[in-house]
Amino acid sequence: MKDLTIELENRPGALADMGEALGRAGVSVEGGGAFVVNGIGVAHFLFMDGGAARRALEAAGIRVLEERDVLVQRLNQAEPGQLGKISRRMAQAGVNIEVIYSDHEHQLILVVDDPAKGRAVSGAWGRSPGIEGS
């Protein structure tokens, strides 16, 4: 799966334009969100096929700033503090979490500055049942 960083105009209908362009291309959004930061629309959305999403958006004149790999993790929602624990583990490994959101399957999606180290932390987390709840 891929996270696309998308620049959207800060105006009514910009998100609709994006969604319609993806729909015409048969591309589904798997998770993500959009925000206005300093007057500019910035979106991070998750796609099974990042290349297809990028092509559909760019064909519609929508600017894709970046396409990145993601880490996918399941947290134990019954245990408070899970976000703090996994974030602390990433920090202790020297990994900066740059983007975080949930997908439609209630999984945590992380975009990190060091994917190799992040995968190692994520893998260890997933092998710790009963502690973090994989």
pLDDT digits (tens, 9 = 90+) for 50-84: 999 999 999 999 999 999 999 999 888 888 999 99
Per-residue model confidence as pLDDT tens digits over 21-53: 999 999 999 999 999 999 999 999 999 999 999
Global pTM? Answer: 0.89
CB proximity list for 98: less than 8 A, separation 6 or greater: 111, 112, 113
How would residue 126 be classed by pLDDT, with cut points 50, 70 and 90?
A: confident
Query: Does the pLDDT of residue 133 top 80, yes or no?
Result: no
Domain 2-69 has CATH 3.20.20.100: no
DSSP state of 27: -
Paired tokens of 120:
């190692």
Per-domain residue ranges of the chain: 2-69, 71-126
Alpha helices in the chain (DSSP H): 14-24, 50-59, 82-92, 115-126
